[in-house]
Amino acid sequence: MAEDNGYCCPNVEEGLKHKGPRERIDNAVETVTPFIEVIDEIKKAGGEVYKLCYQCGKCDVVCPWNRVRNFSIRRIIREAAFGLTEIESEEIWRCTTCGICPQQCPRGVKLIELGVSLRRLASEYEVFPASVRSARTARASLVSEGNPLQGERKNRADWANGLSVKTFAEGMEVLYFVGCYFSYDPRLKKVAAATANILKRAGIDFGILGTKENCCGESVRKTGGEQVFTSLARENIKTFIDNGVKKIVVSSPHCYHSFKNEYPEFMVNFEVVHISQYLSELINEGRLEFTKEFAKKVTYHDPCYLGRHNAVYDEPREVLEKVPGLELREMPDSRKDSLCCGGGGGRIWMETPKGERFSDLRLEQANKVGAEVLVTSCPYCIANFDDSRLNLGYEEVLEIKDITEVIQEVI
């Protein structure tokens, strides 16, 4: 039976190419035939998980979107079950893949996989609403330059000018995989530099790939660009193998997640360590020593892809708690319940209007606990928090820092 929204099935003859509005049926309930063509396409794209859903609605209760507007992932799942998904709708692009709804689902429905399968359909037919078209631009840049920011490949290592950072060679202790945003974004280049300075201070024999480094591909995969992800992954894997890479240190949780959990799909395994974990290791081994104080009230934000997706909660806090003079304060919605910044799932490339930004809510939480510095470990979080800091007029009351920037100040 149709849901009480009163919409009937789109024209089956037009299949996935149907773009027109559905007919409104007032004051009536109409029996509809499942739209088999769409159901089959969703199955092919990996979205058959909708069958497990019994519409309890717990996903909607915890979704961060419902703090700023009405949004129902439950409804999207229900529509997918009947092949009624409107692939031209902006709704299928809202999910940030933060991971909070799957951990609440009593049936273990893989909601993220379902959402990505719908995006694959939309991407295949080049159906992008206006607010999402910048993701298509990012995808084109990934294909041509290996990064989503339209930066020239030849400039990928420019952040390291004057820092005496070596090119990785076989036999080195670790590869520092910098990532796209830390290589090109003016603000985030400072984080890459801080990381390199810390590794040098600790006496680590490390190098970078420079122009041979490609985007990890995690975010484009979440926007439905499976072929682009596969191409980027294969290129990176070949580069790792050709250069004798064994241990990889990354700054981005998205690189961490992709290398650790997605690249094994290509029958390879590398030792992957996020910089927050590596800092903890270096401090515990006595390879990093603090010589100064950081006498400020600090709160730590758990990035979704470091925390919920990969359960890295303790190491960043252990590092901060060892910094002389630092007072660590917890925000509401921390650890596994951390409030998403809004940048995952490719949303970092899409338009989010003022009033609908999770990052604004997060900064308000940081301010309420009296924090002077909001520390995190993710480029998307830093970018969104910096924007919200300006939007909220918090320039004088709250700093945004990567964990490496704090450590650089005290070693």
> Distance between the two ends of the chain, CA-based, in angstroms?
65
Class of domain 290-410: alpha beta
Q: What are the mean pLDDT values of the chain's consecutive 10-residue runs (411 residues total)?
A: 36 37 38 57 62 88 96 89 80 96 90 89 88 94 98 98 97 98 98 98 98 98 96 98 97 98 96 98 96 97 98 98 98 97 97 95 98 98 98 96 98 95
Give the pLDDT of residue 124: 86
CA distance 378 to 392: 21
Strand order in the sheet with 373-376: 327-329, 297-300, 373-376, 399-402
Closest CA to 266 of 339, 319, 332, 217: 217
Closest CA to 299 of 336, 338, 323, 327: 327
| Common-topology check for domains 12-127 and 149-281 | no
pTM of structure: 0.89
Give the pLDDT of residue 223: 96
- Using DSSP's 3-state secondary structure scheme, residue 301 falls into coil
Give the pLDDT of residue 10: 36
Residue 402 backbone phi and psi in degrees, to 5: -75, 155
Give the pLDDT of residue 4: 38
Residue-by-residue DSSP string for 205-265: -EEB-GGG-----HHHHHTT-HHHHHHHHHHHHHHHHHTT--EEEES-HHHHHIIIIIGGG
Max CA pair span of the chain? 74
| Domain covering 149-281 in this structure, CATH number | 3.40.50.1860
CA distance 3 to 20: 19
Domain spans of the chain, in order of start: 12-127, 149-281, 290-410
CA distance 275 to 264: 21
- CATH second-level architecture of 12-127? Orthogonal Bundle (1.10)
Give the pLDDT of residue 43: 66
